[in-house]
Structure 1
């Protein structure tokens, strides 16, 4: 501002006080005389102090001093504080998280998403409130590599650049809203598989429906509990990891279960038809698949890794081995060498080695075990 005269400086914290001309000397704008009085009351409730140093023509400096911790509060003040937090319209439990780290056990802080899988996972947090953004970062940083964005436009750019495992975004933001960002992500081939969780203080059913219609995987209303937010995000990431592991390990697991949207479903349909067409082609590889799909090698690799947890070549091999397992049981008279040729493995030895690596037994043992099970079921 332009500074405060000595005549006014002792009165500026008085309720409804204004300069003689009715215009605030601090801001040059119409004033009610409430702001500084309210500020002083809030600071004093926190056992703090506020003072001002001002020179007309230069400006004003306000100095606020607050004590760290909470030992200077009485039990009654702390009890009242906790009670008021239950009715605040902000995000009480999330804001309180930084002050109550002890509420999270060490196990919760360092939770492993999947036992035996310590692969680093990335979360993108999109929020225009800087304080809340940092709090959310503190919440997720023990488990995830955390990326931060201040609005939907920046969030969309980082999603495309970094391809995180999950995105948590506020709805109301400048530049681009959370729902608009979500819609663009869910319509982008490269990133549409990423789960998006929307946070909002708008609790109407219409707002929730809009977010879900735009492809949001979850919708969480403010105020929310920090542990609940963490658990729900972990579940979304964990469920995708579990589906990927099931696909790689179970012969009858449908790859379509990995797709959570029409774009990915169409992609996997096309991939399966290309693999089906090239089952006996020894030379079929990632380069040929990329050409068939009209994608670059890097784009194809990144999409497969994110969607299935596998490289394109590993995915093709897994599909062929699952087909081999079906042929071993459904066509008992078919020689193992013939199955190897029909599926483009080049040699029965290589086929046996690949089959054992996936199913932990040889093709011959797999067939015998299936025959015994069929006989036992018949008896």
Structure 2
């Protein structure tokens, strides 16, 4: 039986300062009338948010035939996109996750794919069985799109079939949850995925010699990162190699390059170039007979003093000390 229950509905209506009137006649049926306060402002409908702390702007852009609806609060929380054709489930997840995460929900996978390119999502939760486009196709669409390939995907399904779970992982999903599930179980899954992503970013920032497949979630991201690192290596001693030249050689816009690097590595494009240079400098200092100044110039720094400051900030040791130990 579908539905979220009369008591649950009444609770939601009450939290939105609304009223529910129920009339029931034995043998004839039940009629329910719901009143929710609405204010029109500049042709936009504003409803009170469930927790009374924010307002939700509902327009044709985010609620319409597509069924897209969003709760995005001002606090900096992880942003999660939830895709499912079950509206009741979406509303339940929206309310349950809201204290810890910002959420955008969509009943239309095609619309969700468009929305995914417009926001910086930390995670996608996607149902497998949907009429317009199944979850496997959604995963493939994310994995093949350079704008979206870094976003981890958790799949949901009501089908008790291990083959579905296996196929989901094979397509690129990072986790799996069977319906019905407890909300606490989902929250544990979400936090585990986000913690792992933070660990990957930390690994990139702390390791001087990393493997691309260890810090990326997709083959496309692995190729992207490998190309980015190779470009910096190819221009290691070029002091004029900057963000503009980097973008031109990567053949993508400055905004996209920044977004991708930020999501994969946690740092900006400028910081990325500097880190790759400093990583190489550390290796040279450990394994070669070059002086600190020679290494600085070789790695694209035209000021040895500035190089030493950057090196100390990155590795908490001066390059001269690394040279002495080696």
**Residue 168 (1) aligns with residue 136 (2):** no
Q: Tell me the CA shift for residue 250 of structure 1.
A: 2.8
Q: Which runs of 5+ in 2 are unaligned?
A: 7-21, 34-74
Q: Partners of 2:306 and 2:198 in 1: how far apart?
A: 29
**1:328 to 2:302 alignment:** no
C-alpha separation in 2, matches of 1:119 and 1:253: 29
For residues 161 and 205 of structure 2, the distance between their equivalents in structure 1, rounded to whole angstroms, comes to 41
Does the 8 Å contact 1:53/1:62 carry over to 2? no
CA distance, structure 2, for counterparts of residue 163 and residue 176 of structure 1: 22
**Residue aligning to 2:90:** 133
1:196 aligns with 2:164: no
Question: Contact between 2:80 and 2:121, CA under 8 Å: does it hold in 1?
Answer: yes
Residue in structure 2 matched with residue 13 of structure 1 by the alignment: none
Tell me the residue number matched to 2:251: 294
- Distance, in Å, in 2 between the alignment partners of 1:249 and 1:206 is 38
Q: How many residues align?
A: 266
Q: CA deviation at 1:264?
A: 1.1
Larger radius of gyration: 1
Summarize the Cα distance change of 1:163–1:119 in structure 2 as closer, same or farther, 3 Å threshold.
closer
Partner SS state of residue 220, structure 1: strand
- Given candidates 20, 25, 37, the residue that maps to 1:51 is 25
User: What's the TM-score once normalised by structure 2's chain length?
Assistant: 0.76
Q: Aligned residue for 1:221?
A: 178
Question: Is residue 270 from structure 1 mapped to residue 227 from structure 2 by the alignment?
Answer: yes
Q: Aligned pair 1:351/2:307, yes or no?
A: yes
Deviates more, 1:141-150 or 1:204-213: 204-213
**Relative to total residues, which structure has the larger strand share, 1 or 2?**
2
Residue 361 (structure 1) aligned with residue 296 (structure 2): no
CA distance in 1, matches of 2:210, 2:123: 24
Q: Which has the larger helix fraction?
A: 1
For residues 51-72 of structure 1, the C-alpha deviation after alignment (integer angstroms, 9 at most, x for no partner) is: 2899xxxxxx84259xxxxxxx
Q: Confirm or deny: 8 A CA contact 1:169 1:199 kept in the other structure.
A: yes
Instruction: Tell me the CA shift for residue 253 of structure 1.
Output: 3.3
Q: Which residue of 2 aligns with 1:185?
A: 142
Cα distance per residue 1:85-135 (max 9 Å; x no partner): xxxxxxxxxxxxxxxxxxxxxxxxxxxxxxxxx963211111222221111
Look up the match of 1:315.
Answer: 272
Which string of whole-angstrom CA distances, capped at 9 and with x for unpartnered residues, describes residues 262-311 of structure 1? 11111122112211110000011111111111111111111111111111
Measure the CA separation in 2 of the matches of 1:266 and 1:246. Answer: 18
The TM-score, its normalising length taken from structure 1, stands at 0.65
5+ residue gaps, structure 1:
1-41, 55-60, 66-117, 372-379
